[in-house]
Amino acid sequence: MPFENALAPYSPQLLSLLRIMTGLLFLAHGTAKLFSFPHVEMFDNLEIASLTGVAGILEVVGGTLIAIGLFTRPVAFILSGQMAVAYFMAHAPQNFFPILNGGESAILFSFIFIYLAAAGAGPWSVDAARKN
């Protein structure tokens, strides 16, 4: 089948796009928590020393590093663990099914980050530029 190989030549660039978009989406979670942008009422009066506050710091710093592709493998590994912990602490106790406990994004982030830890940043990254 011709389509199954149509995108294969673009795999490195698509890896970079996956990393960039994942980093930006993750960063938005952190900015909502720490800077109220975008405003999420649930994060009003958030204490920085709380578990959610520390998660916000990891999301801002980690999301930025992932988006630009700097220290991608170790940062992605740490963030994958953060999202696994978030899922099992915050979502899984509510219901067994992710669709019912609101944990789909935590699961997806965790698996995308573990993939990035294995695959690296791709060609459009600070990591790639540092190798040259």
* pLDDT tens, residue by residue, 63-79: 999 999 999 999 999 99
- pLDDT reading at 118 higher than 60: yes
3-state SS of 72-104 is HHHHHHHHHHHHHHHHHHHHCCCCCCHHHHCCH
* pLDDT tens, residue by residue, 80-93: 999 999 999 999 99
**pLDDT computed for residue 31 by the predictor:** 98
The b-or-e profile of 29-46 (16+ CB within 10 A means b, else e) is bbbbbbeeeeeeeebeeb
Tokens of 31: 């900015």
Please count the other Cβ atoms lying within 10 Å of the Cβ belonging to residue 77: 15
- Provide the residue ranges of all domains of the chain, joining segments of one domain with +: 12-122
pLDDT class of 5 with cuts at 50, 70, 90: confident
**pLDDT computed for residue 90 by the predictor:** 96
- Main-chain phi, psi angles of 48, to 5 degrees: -60, -30
- What distances in angstroms separate CA 48 from CA 15, 26, 74, 75, 91, one per listed residue? 33, 18, 24, 21, 21
**Are the C-beta atoms of residues 33 and 46 closer than 8 Å to each other?**
yes
Percent of the chain with pLDDT over 70: 98
Q: 36 in the Ramachandran plot: left (φ > 0), alpha (ψ -120 to 50) or beta?
A: left
Report, as an integer, the average pLDDT of 95-121. Answer: 97
